[in-house]
A and B are shown apart, each in its own frame.
Chain A
Amino acid sequence: MRELPQKEANLFKQILRCYETKEYKKGLKGAEQILKKFPEHGETLALKGLFCNHLDKKEEAYEFVRKGLRLDLKSHVCWHVFGLLHRSDRNYEEALKCYSQALRIDKENLQIMRDYSLLQIHTRNYEGFADTLHQLLELKPQNRQFWIGLAIAYHMMGKPDLGIKVLAAFEETLKDEIPAKPDYEHSEMLLYHNSLIQETGDIQAALDHLETLEKHVCDKKAIKEKRAEYLLALGRHEEAEAAYRILIAHNSDNFSYFDGLRKSVGLGNEDLSADDQVKVLDLLKSLQENYPRSNAAKRLPLRYATGDAFVKVADEYLRSMLRKGVPSLFVNIKTLYANNEKEEAIEKLALGYLAALDKSKSFDNSDSAVEPPTALLWTLYFLAQHFDFQRKSGQALSYINRAIEHTPTLVELYMTKGRILKHAGDLVGAMDAVNEARELDLQDRFINSKCTKYMARAGKMNEAEKTVVLFARADLADPLNDLVEMQAMWFSLECGESQLRQGHIGPALKRFHQVEKHFNDFTEDQFDFHMYCLRKMTLRAYVSLLKLEDQLRSHQYYVRAVEGAVRCYVQLFDKPESDDSEATEGMTEAEKKKFRNKQRKAELKAQKETEEKKAQAAQEILKKGGKVDEDPDGLKYTKAEDPIGEALKLLKPLQEQAAERIETHLMGFDLYIRKNKLLLALKALLKSHKIDANNSVLHEQLVRFALAVRKAGNSVKPAVKAVIDKHWDTLYQGKGDDLASFTASFIEKNKDLGSVPHLISAAIAVYLINPDEKSKAEDIVFLMASDKYVKTRSYENCIFARKTLKSWRSSRFKEFSAKAAEWYPKSPEFRDGLEKCRIQCGIPGMSVAILHKGELVLAEGFGKRNEKDPFTAETLAPIGSLTKSFTATTIGELVAEGKLDWDKTPVNKYLPEFELKDPVLTSQLTLVDLLSHRTGLPRETELSWFLSAETRSNLIKRLKHVEMPSKLSSKYLYSNAMYAVAGEAAANVAGATYEEIVRKKVIEPLSLVNSGFSPVEMEKRSSNHSMPYSAASLQDAQNGLFKLEDIGDICKSMAPAGDMFSNVLDMVRWGKVIMNAGEIDGKQVLSKENVQETLTPHTIIACPRRTPEFAPALTYGLGWDLDSYKGHTFYGHDGAVSGFRSRLEIFPDADLVIAQLMNVTNSELFAQGFSRYISDEILNLPKTQDWIINSIKETESRYDLMESMTKSTIPERIQNKPASQELRAYVGEYTNLIHGDVSITVGKDEITGEETLFYKTGCLDGKLSHYHFDSFIYEAKYLEILSSDIITFRGAKDGKVESLELMADEYKRK
């Protein structure tokens, strides 16, 4: 039956060729044609099956092949085909059996033997492989591939000497036909031959062999490298040195050549003596001179130098890199940080550059070398990374923000900002920053992928998917699935881990198994190389491929996938109860039931929605011709009968290929103990113990194991028990029967280690041993609050500790959460807390920055800065009276220069136009009197100063008409006008405007780049500035009903009292400078003595009955309130102008600065309340009252008071009392000595067209409406200055209007 007629036999040959040329469809047709006539022809049937297999019809394939085989059991073709089918399904054992069956029938079939050999090497059956190759060589001794294959077989069996013999024999046969010119394949063979000799350890032989090769080898570099290596190994140092020098001449950036050279001149020690160090540095220096473009020659001295020599070479290196602008500088440098001394030296250098660049645009304040502006940029960037590396997130953030301010277009800055925020536990903020980077450069796939990763880490899977497909092929039906096809494992892992964090086990497992599949594919992919490499002679590469494949799964991607999957399967096995205990805490049973019902309904609804969406998406994919995922939620995996067994399958390759990793065995224990496999669990423990006996997780596992053994008691088989007993004392140091003391010694041993993981493990152990010792376990967890543990505390292990406490139903869970929020205030909890307060208080927008112990622990905006944009940490806003501290400090700088003095010279000497009614007083008032609010100037004096367009000098001149108490007092009476006088006096002495001197003396030296004068300038400076809001009542504010106000130029004439703007970032920087008495970034920028003067009490502010949290008496320095809170001294000041609010507080002893900005009127108490709330939280102070609630209550009464005050200033209107004169009679110019002029005109009302009076003062203008008699009412347009009031004309009854009265002041007709 096997013989076919001629025609069909030819056709059969054709279809065989179709298989080789991969024309499967054509082949299938041909097979069917034969089968029409000879339906029982076994070989054709088998071939048909093979074609089906390649056309994705798996079941039919097996059916046909089996049928064919049954019909023709004696056919080697059928067996061969069956073997191929098994092989394609990676069923290697079966395939090998089929091949050997086929070979039994047709002993000398080269094709089958060859396929057989490939499978043997694929399954690493080297001996079998060698056998098969021997047979092949007997049949075809001329075949090069077989010779080489045999050599490789011996090599891989660990017998390089036999391999050498094979190769030598083969080379012998070639003697007559050695190619004249070097030929690649021949050359590779020779080099491979040489590497085999090296592997025997006979280096001299290897060298001798190498010397004969040169003219036959293409890879000249390899020859030179090997030669140098051999010479060095043989101790022929002079020759080795020469060889390495040649190599360096070829490539002066290969670190290994430098290493070789160093060793060949006898300086190979890693710990260099002082003399040797000098020698190495000299050597490198000479190389640097020879190869000025070599980075290695510049970089290596940093590795070898120590002490002063290090500082010198590091200085040179850093400067050149920063000047050049090398973004990877920090990554390159950080390996040196293993050495603390070097780390400190580098920090010092970089901070020094920054200070010098700020001051003089050079690295060292030398006049000669002005650096490009990018030098400052890269220095800031470097420092940000440096502090991030040390996990000083606050400092890192402040440098990166400065860099962004400097050059907002540089993508790297946003990437680093993201990284810093990630380390600070702010995953959402990190994501936002990296997304900004992405938007700056849409074509960078790396950034796009990073952004995707940050989105997944922040739990935003939708965004992550949308972002990642931006780089997938647009024409595909299902671009997300394309990523799987492309084996983008990082994405599968990030998705899986994100799903796992969110408790979605099925989808997570699906992703982890995707990764597993990719690794299986990689293993499979090597199949093609067995033949290819032997044919093409890429032998050195082939051998390294084989070695790589043998430990492929120790790759971290596989390890991560297994770790994720193991956690999923363990969770499935443990089936934890639903995770709602936190939400339902404190509810009654009925409430809980209701809550859960509600939750369930919501879940059902959400489920329905997602299902509809999925169905829709599936339709879309089908339309475009894609394949729909049948099981998108990975139900296949969650329904696994034996989840632990599944996990073990994944773990097995790690046990084989990554046995040196402790994680492998820790996972193994977790699985075996759940299966009650005590022996295997013990084995895992022993392996872990051998790798790291003091591993934190291992201790917990040991305790678990001992407890399991104890629990099993007599049910443990004696043989098992014997094995356990044998190792018992090794594992437990003889304390296996007293676990409490075992754990106690673990704690004792690690008490100075400062490791949080060890702490948590110990706590868990204590709890496991005896749950009644919960409070002791809790105490251990809380130890991580002490300073010793700061270094190893991370956001992740805090979350783990939190979860652990929760699983114990610990009563201290909340306390711990509060602590964690304190350590990671950028974490969602703390931020949410502030956001809740903001909404509660009805504040449209605000920003808060907190600097604690050098860390910017929070710098964040909340709510909106205008109708549409968010308030951010960068948002600018007027700071009002906080300006006073700048004025006082600036004056202090002039005092330091000797141009002014605080308390000796009368101000009148500095500013002659400043005169008061009483000449004695004029001759006495000093700057300190003015700046500490103790001149006694009546407050109403300054009413006409607000909004005034008049010059400061004119306004000051009018002060001599004001009635004042004629003796100096120490009584505190707040005065903006006197600050204006002080500022003007300083300006007069300095010979510049006030604004200029503040800029020069304070703003610029401190790099307060976000601060300046005048709201007009603020609007120009950045579109990221806030608008002011007002509300009619607190209720309105809480309901979000605000009136948008104008930004008024209110303080121009009183700039020294309150005309500055800033943002919270600059404000905390300002606070830091004041806290450090004028020092910042390691430099004394302001006069220390004079800053201290501004912080010395000069006046007592009368405020009766303070609550016990505060100092008994509130005092005023110069521009600062001086107070204390719960035992902590603090300096602070409020500012308010046209609806904006600022507050800055400085706690010098606690090293804390709190800055706030708000954009609504009546927020004074909120700003204070927030400060109290924040200082309680950050400093962990005992809670004495709910500051937020109390500030809300008090603010409510403020609103009421304001309303009643507005009403009370206006007398009740008397009906039907017309004006005594026609309007024109009131027209004219009126004047008051103190407040200036008021002009009254008549004109047409824009709306009604009727004749109306208009008024205009130095600061206000508007319409007057008749009220009663000769009184007219006006409405002022700016908040917090003036509200509605009336103007009453005098003398009109007598027919002659002589004066008018405004706010109790008389203005006479001119």
Chain B
Amino acid sequence: MTPPAINMNSTASATTTGDKPKSSAFRIGLGDITVNNLGQIKRLNTVLFPVVYNSSFYKEILEVGEFAKIIYFNDVCVGGVCCRKEPIAGDKSSQNLYIATLGVLAPYRRLGLGSRLLTHILENAELTSSSEPKIGKVYLHVQKTNEEALEFYKKHGFQIAETLENYYPQFDDKDAYRLEKVLN
């Protein structure tokens, strides 16, 4: 069983701050996760999230293609996103996409990297491939108290679908929201 996923987030909020570097001063790029750089995403998740993911989690993310990515800032790997596709019982024509982790290292926040990762996921979720069931909705869990993350996801069109009490029994703030975005 994979441990409950968590979006501690980590990423940019809507607030603009005056101390952003000039955009010309940096380069941003997305990269694939491969068996060779898996260590990078492991290191990121260890630093960013209190949940420890097991090896099957990392095995799975090698299989999801565009739905697991790392992001480079000035050629340095500073964040990543890991999703999994979840089939819907009794529905062969569609499936859900679950964002298990999405995060950016602290010094690199508020530079739009989180948005870039999330946009990438959403864009790819909307591309339908003929061989696969189409993705009906994208969802994730977030701690109820994590206002920054909530705001971030709402900005990207996510809505609270459900409140889950004691979802994170190991943490102080145990309650979580399930956020989702239904795709057209």
Contacts and interface: CB of A to CB of B under 8 A. Distances in A.
Nearest to B72: A409
A374 B35 contact: no
Interface stretch (A156-164, A440-448, A451-459, A631-639): A440-448
16 contacts: A324-B74, A360-B19, A361-B21, A371-B21, A371-B25, A372-B25, A407-B78, A407-B105, A410-B77, A441-B36, A442-B35, A1016-B172, A1019-B171, A1020-B171, A1023-B50, A1023-B52
B39 A372 contact: no
Contacts of B36: 441-443
A377 B22 contact: no
Nearest to A1024: B46
A323 interface: yes
A373 B50 contact: no
B21 A372 contact: yes
Interface in B59-108: 73-78, 105, 107-108
A409 B37 CA distance: 10
B44 interface: yes
A360 B44 CA distance: 26
B26 A372 contact: yes
A360, A409, A1019, A1020 interface centre (most CB from chain B within 10 Å): A409
Interface in A375-413: 376-377, 406-410
A415 to B, nearest CB: 14
B40 interface: yes
B47 interface: yes
A1258 interface: no
Contact of B25 (A323, A407, A1020): A323
A730 B172 CA distance: 83
A323, A371, A374, A410 interface centre (most CB from chain B within 10 Å): A374
Interface string A5-49: 000000000000000000000000000000000000000000000
Contact of A408 (B43, B52, B75): B43
A407 B107 contact: yes
A1023 B46 contact: yes
B171 A409 contact: no
B40 A409 contact: yes
A376 B105 CA distance: 14
Nearest to A1014: B172
Contacts of A1020: 50, 171-172
Contact of A374 (B26, B37, B39, B172): B26
Contacts of B46: 1023
A363 to B, nearest CB: 12
Given A409-B40, A440-B40, 15 more contacts: A325-B76, A360-B19, A370-B20, A371-B21, A373-B107, A373-B111, A374-B76, A408-B44, A408-B105, A409-B44, A409-B78, A409-B105, A410-B77, A440-B37, A441-B36
A441 B25 contact: no
A376 B44 CA distance: 19
A399 to B, nearest CB: 15
Q: Give the 6 A-B CB pairs with smallest separation, nearest first.
A: A443-B36, A373-B107, A440-B39, A442-B36, A439-B39, A409-B77
A373 B73 CA distance: 9
A370, A407, A439, A441 interface centre (most CB from chain B within 10 Å): A407
Interface string A322-364: 0111000000000000000000000000000000000011000
A407 B39 contact: no
A1023 B38 CA distance: 19
Interface in B1-59: 19-22, 25-26, 34-40, 43-44, 46-47, 50, 52
Nearest to A360: B19
Interface in B140-183: 171-172
A372 B21 CA distance: 5
A795 B46 CA distance: 35
Contacts of A325: 74-76
Nearest to B47: A408
A1139 B77 CA distance: 38
A409 B74 contact: no
Nearest to A376: B107
Nearest to B49: A1023
How many interface residues does chain B have, given as a range?
20 to 34
Contacts of A439: 39
Contacts of A408: 43-44, 47, 105
B39 A441 contact: yes
Nearest to A368: B22
Nearest to B77: A409
B34, B76, B77 interface centre (most CB from chain A within 10 Å): B76
A1016 B73 CA distance: 31
Contacts of A361: 19, 21
Contacts of B38: 442
Interface string A409-452: 11000000000000000000000000000011111000000000
Interface string A1011-1032: 0000010011011000000000
A407 B79 CA distance: 10
B17 to A, nearest CB: 10
A323 B74 CA distance: 10
Contact of A406 (B50, B73, B107): B107
Interface string A1072-1100: 00000000000000000000000000000
B35 A372 contact: no
A389 to B, nearest CB: 23
A361 B108 CA distance: 12
B123 to A, nearest CB: 25
Contacts of A407: 76, 78, 105, 107
B26 A440 contact: no
Contacts of A440: 37, 39-40, 43
B4 to A, nearest CB: 15
A1019 B172 CA distance: 10
B144 to A, nearest CB: 15
A1039 to B, nearest CB: 30
A374 B43 contact: no
Contacts of B74: 324-325, 372, 374
Contacts of A323: 25
Nearest to B20: A370
B175 to A, nearest CB: 15
Contacts of B39: 439-442
Nearest to A437: B39
A408 B108 CA distance: 12
Given A377-B76, A409-B40, A409-B78, A370 B105 contact: no
Contacts of B37: 440-443
Nearest to B19: A370
B73 A372 contact: yes
Contacts of A1023: 46, 50, 52
B22, B73, B107 interface centre (most CB from chain A within 10 Å): B107
A323, A324, A373, A439 interface centre (most CB from chain B within 10 Å): A373
Given A325-B76, A407-B76, A1023-B52, A373 B40 contact: no
A410 B76 contact: yes
Interface in A624-674: none
Interface string A309-328: 00000000000000111000
Nearest to A1017: B172
A12 B76 CA distance: 67
A1108 B111 CA distance: 60
Contacts of B22: 370
A374 B19 CA distance: 14
A1292 to B, nearest CB: 40
Contacts of B78: 407, 409
A410 B105 CA distance: 12
Nearest to A406: B107
Contacts of B76: 325, 374, 377, 407, 409-410
B20, B35, B38, B108 interface centre (most CB from chain A within 10 Å): B108
Contacts of A373: 21, 73, 107-108, 111
B143 to A, nearest CB: 10
A1150 B111 CA distance: 45
A361 B20 CA distance: 9
